[in-house]
Each structure stands twice: as structure tokens, then as C-alpha cells.
Structure 1
Amino acid sequence: MTQPILTDIPMESFLSHIDAVAGAIAKSDWRPDYIVGVGRGGLVPATYLSHAISQPMLSVDLSAQVVGFCDELLDKLVAMALEGSRLLFVDDINDSGRTINQLRAALAGAPADHLRFAVLIDNVSSAAKVEYRATTIDRVVTKDWFVFPWEAVASRASILSDWGEVPERTS
């Protein structure tokens, strides 16, 4: 298996991405009541975005893949949306679309107009669609594995292990 090209996202670019997403939200006619960070990669962007647009942040984590761990939290998020709260889910990248589609399925009982998704990098050929993004890529063309500032502290082996979970994203 060929290893990916690891492309660092500098902190300055990350901050510009946060500004771009915040700007897109400001220009839209929809405002979240809560930012929901999607663990693991969306927690840091959600925290920054929460500060940038002055909205409180919640979190949910599917990345650890612990069966049943998020069920109660997801049920609470559905209940909040049913009660009228608008929830903006934030992740670092919409790559294959697996995480976003998994969340959309888990939140199917919530009113669709109360849920939105934002990412820093949006793969235009993803199986999932998002409402807000800072920048786009096309995985048909761009094969790089992006290393965000919070991931840069990990060892190369750890980064490659994360990539290795679904290597076809960059193949």
C-alpha cells in the first residue's frame, strides 16, 4: 500500500478557514443556537468557530467507534432540535462523507431545517453534502492527507495509522 502525501495545514490557514466558515454563516439566513463539534477532528474547529460567532458549543464523538457511546447524546440532540434549537455540526473535513451521513441518519428524527453541517475542507465528490465550507477539494484529483495543527503533535506513525483506517480515500 502506497503511503499518502502528508500536507500540513498551517495555523494561519486554519484560522483563515475558521473566518471563512464564520463569514459564510453570517451571510446566510440561518443561525445556529449551538455549535456541535464532531470528535475527533471537529472538536478544535468547533471550539474556534464557537468563539468566532459567539455561540455555545456541544460535542459528540463517533471517531472512537465505541458502540452505543453516543446514542444518548444523539437522542438529546434530536430532542433539542425538536424543541426548536438549531444545531451546526462541525468537522474538519468532509472526506468520504461517512461521518456526516452517519450523523444525518442518527439525527433523522430531527427537523432537517434545524440541522446544518460545516467543514474546513469539503470534498466535492463526497457521498455527503454540507452547507458551509472554507475550501473545497476533489478526491478524484487531490490525494493528499491533510494534517491539521492539532494533529501535527502526533507521530508520523500515528498519522499514517489514521490514514490507514480508510486508505481508499486517497488512493
Structure 2
Amino acid sequence: MTAREQLTWEAFGDASRDLSRTIVADGFVPDVVVAIARGGLLPAGAIAYGLGAKNCGAINIEFYTGVGTVLDSPVVLPPALDLGALAGRRVLLVDDVADSGRTLDLAVRLLEERGADVRSAVIYTKPTTIIEPDYWWKATDLWIDFPWSWQGSVIEQDAGTVGAG
């Protein structure tokens, strides 16, 4: 079995608060917190609470299809975020991990092309990422078991095909 990084719910709480403090200390006050769905949904919500930010949204991007399996390139999925509404706004873009960085890079480019002032935050960053997030909690080169996804879906569990992603 390959070594894995295990994020517990308690460590997730610590990571979210630590990232929130780092962002505040940097002087960045976002107008909007945008999650990269699905992995960034929980971190974005927790960080939004930590920052006292109430304006939140999500951009749906699929890249990983399973443990170590990806599409040829990231794909934006519906429903679409109203990117035009973010022009001129300070946006904190949040994901769980910058692994290859291709998903984060696509989302940053989409937001910047619409005139948003974008900063990115992730719980984990990896040495393989093509884009360095502005904020991260921890660097690792291991596969990460997140508390919300490491068991796979209940559909996979009931079918006997547990996956992570």
C-alpha cells in the first residue's frame, strides 16, 4: 500500500483557521469566496466562515475521475458560475489541493479573463503543480485522503467498488 496523507476532520478545522489567519495577515479581503467543486466546497465554506465572508459561489470543474485517473484536460461543467458578475471584485478561489495545478490554473484564468482580482487558497499543494497557489496550509507529494471523500460514495460502497477522489 502506498503511503498517504491522512487529513482528519480536526486537522481540516485547523487548516481552515490557519489559512483564514494567513489570508487576513496578508491583507487580502475577498468580496467573494469561490469554491472549485467538488473538492473545494468544504474548504471554501470553512474559510469563508473564518474570514466572515458571506458572498460565496462555486465553479464546477472535472479533472480527476478516480485515484490517479484524470481526463485529458479539465472541463467546466454546468451549472455555470456567473463570471461576469465577478468583474472588478476581489475573489478568493479555494480548492482542496493543487496537484497537477491544471484545474486551479483553468479557474484562475477564467476569473482573471473576466476582470476579477483573484487569489487562490488550497489546503495542500504538491511539487507537481503548474501554478503556485497564493495560500496553502501544507505541502506534500503523497495522495491525500480527505475526510469527506476517502471512502468514496455510498453508491460505490454498496456496489463494493470503493474509490477516492
TM-score (norm 1): 0.75
Structure 1 segments, 4+ long, off by >3 Å, are 3-7, 64-72
Structure 1's 70 and 86: CA in aligned 2 closer, same or farther, altered over 3 A? farther
Match of residue 40 from structure 1: 38
The reply to whether residue 23 of structure 1 matches residue 21 of structure 2 is yes
Let me know the Cα RMSD of the aligned residues: 2.4
Deviation string for 1:55-104 (max 9, x for gaps)?
1221111127896634842xx22x2332x221111000001101011112
Higher relative contact order (CA 8 A, sep 6+): 1
Structure 1's 68 and 122: CA in aligned 2 closer, same or farther, altered over 3 A? closer
TM-score (norm 2): 0.78
- Residue 3 of structure 2 aligns with an amino acid whose one-letter code is I
Pairs aligned (count): 148
Gaps of at least 5 residues in structure 2 are: 64-70
1:50 to 37, 48, 65: 48
Q: What's the % identity of the aligned pairs?
A: 24
- Residue 57 of structure 2 aligns with an amino acid whose one-letter code is L
Provide the C-alpha distance between the structure 1 equivalents of 2:103 and 2:120, rounded to a whole number of angstroms.
Answer: 11
- Residue 86 of structure 1 aligns with an amino acid whose one-letter code is R
Deviation string for 1:110-148 (max 9, x for gaps)?
336x111100011244101211111122xxxx3x21111
1:92 to 91, 96, 100: 96
1:109 to 87, 91, 113: 113
Gaps of at least 5 residues in structure 1 are: 163-171
- Residue 92 of structure 1 aligns with an amino acid whose one-letter code is D
Q: Higher strand share goes to which structure?
A: 2
Provide the C-alpha distance between the structure 2 equivalents of 1:62 and 1:69, rounded to a whole number of angstroms.
Answer: 6
Deviation string for 1:31-54 (max 9, x for gaps)?
101111111110011111111111
Structure 1's 125 and 39: CA in aligned 2 closer, same or farther, altered over 3 A? same
